[in-house]
A and B are shown apart, each in its own frame.
Chain A
Amino acid sequence: GAVVSQHPSWVICKSGTSVKIECRSLDFQATTMFWYRQFPKQSLMLMATSNEGSKATYEQGVEKDKFLINHASLTLSTLTVTSAHPEDSSFYICSARRGGLAGGPGHPGELFFGEGSRLTVL
């Protein structure tokens, strides 16, 4: 089964509303999570790095006030798209880097990806 889970897997919302996407690491504690955006027929673009207990680090060109990231615990990071517009429609994917406790799947530092969340803004 999946070790990183995203919810919701798809969401449709009206323009101007806010949408929250959750990313959970199920089998390990993740000190660092990453949020990516995937445009149709294009690759994943890193949006931000989410660190537990501290502010996220955003990539150049990504609006911090538009894409709010909260990494409140070692197993949960959330991405909130505020005042969504049609151009925000995209596929958002998170990844988590295992760190901390021994055991669990893979090797320390290995990245695990969520299933992705497709956002459609009408």
Chain B
Amino acid sequence: GNSVTQMEGPVTLSEEAFLTINCTYTATGYPSLFWYVQYPGEGLQLLLKATKADDKGSNKGFEATYRKETTSFHLEKGSVQVSDSAVYFCALSDRNNAGNMLTFGGGTRLMVKP
């Protein structure tokens, strides 16, 4: 079956620090990969995505590259801000799975201190 594993949090960083949140996956097909962000009191929002190997998703300064050889989709940002404090979820969608259902990782809480 499909699964997503991401590093446990919380991750605590100072403002302007470099961020990496690791994510690896197991899938039977050729999945699309996603990062979702959940700000306090809000629902999940799509942050970025990549649909095939070597694609790089990017948004709001965040980046993640689809690495098929290492089955990874690590999230990075060069300089985090306090407003980036949230819970980040890595997810995959198996193209062979009709309905576009998502399999989520456990979530990683990021806390950015001023």
Q: List chain A positions with a Cβ less than 8 A from chain B.
A: 2, 4, 6, 32, 34, 41-44, 46, 49, 93, 95, 97, 109-111, 113-116
Contact = CB atoms under 8 A, between A and B. Distances in A.
Nearest to B101: A46
B114 to A, nearest CB: 25
Q: What's the dominant secondary structure at chain A's contact region?
A: strand
Nearest to A106: B46
B102 interface: yes
Nearest to A51: B99
22 contacts: A32-B99, A34-B102, A41-B106, A42-B107, A43-B89, A43-B104, A43-B106, A43-B107, A44-B102, A46-B103, A49-B101, A93-B43, A93-B44, A97-B99, A109-B100, A111-B100, A111-B102, A113-B44, A113-B45, A114-B43, A115-B43, A116-B43
Contact of A97 (B4, B36, B100): B100
Contacts of A116: 42-43
A78 to B, nearest CB: 17
The 5 closest A-B CB pairs, nearest first, are A113-B44, A113-B43, A115-B43, A43-B104, A43-B106
Interface string B91-114: 000000001111111110000000
A42 B106 contact: yes
B41 interface: yes
B100 A46 contact: no
Nearest to B102: A111
A34 B101 contact: yes
Interface string B31-51: 000001000011111100000
Contacts of A32: 99-100
Contacts of B106: 41-43
Contacts of B102: 34, 44, 46, 95, 111
Contacts of A49: 99, 101
